[in-house]
Amino acid sequence: MNEVLEKRSYTTLIDGDIPPWVMRFIKHTGKAINTYSMIKEGEKVLLSVSGGKDSLSLALALSLRRKWMPIKYELQAVMINWIEHPIPEEFRPRLAKYFADLDIEFTIKDENQYPASFKGEFNCYLCSRNRRRILFEECEKRGIYLIAMGHHLDDLVETTMMNLCFRASFTTMQPVQPFFDGKIQMIRPMIEIHENSLKQLALSYDLPVVKPVCPYDQSNIRAQLKPLIKELSHMDKYAREHIYNAHSFEGRL
């Protein structure tokens, strides 16, 4: 049995003790930002935080890369905490400290996951739409037009397969996705990052990961597609990259 290694403090990364594999993750995130011109000088970025490994890893990468980037940008973060499925109270101060250490303004918003307008209906699409609505409202209040999401390469591949197999459409999430005629843009800096890299980061460092409760987490279509995509990657280790490269994204160099 492999010995479980003791986690290191994420503060060692902030202090500059960044091992090569973490640096590759940060630079690969930066590569997508540069490829799609996601963040420019002086812009404000609102991070959508779930509390999971993905959004916490994105916050870390975006914060650390500011140390050596020639441009300056401001990071703010908001976590939508569903009242029906709240995070444990002990994680509130831990998350607040994490973002303070990263020099990112952080807010937790307690919101209803099932608003009255849903009339008792609920599914993954409605949940996602409700989250976007809240994020858009936050952008308007803060005077921000960039929303950074923690989606990664595996998310893109799963979305592609869902749309292809169940909607007869070869579409997926975009690296840069405009809303309201471009007044708000959703960016996905980790769109070329494998999920395994984020798992390794969370296993190696004491990120305050809290997994939000989702009643459909293990039964939705996305969860059912994961093992199928894993099988494809056994047949060709670049299967995910092939699916990514099959898309023609605007702005790609």
Tell me the pLDDT tens digit for each residue of 145-187: 999 999 999 999 999 999 999 999 999 999 999 999 999 999 9
Q: What does the pLDDT read at residue 125?
A: 73
Region of residue 181 (left: phi > 0; alpha: psi -120 to 50; beta: else)? left
The pTM (predicted TM-score) of the whole model is 0.92
More confident residue, 95 or 249: 95
**For the chain, domain boundaries:** 11-245
Q: How far is CA 227 from CA 90, 154, 230, in A?
A: 33, 11, 5
Q: What does the pLDDT read at residue 223?
A: 87
Q: What is the mean pLDDT of residues 116-126?
A: 70
**Which segment of 91-105, 110-124, 125-139, 176-190 scores lowest on mean pLDDT?**
110-124
| Range 11-245 has CATH code 3.40.50.10440 | no
Are 223 and 217 a contacting pair, CB within 8 Å? yes
Q: What is the pLDDT of the chain when averaged over all its residues?
A: 92
Q: What does the pLDDT read at residue 165?
A: 94
Q: Computed over its alpha carbons, how large is the radius of gyration of the chain? A: 18
Tell me the pLDDT tens digit for each residue of 31-43: 999 999 999 999 9
Tell me the pLDDT tens digit for each residue of 3-22: 446 899 999 999 999 999 99
Q: What does the pLDDT read at residue 17?
A: 97
Q: What does the pLDDT read at residue 3?
A: 45
Question: CA-to-CA distance for 25 and 145, rounded, in angstroms?
Answer: 25
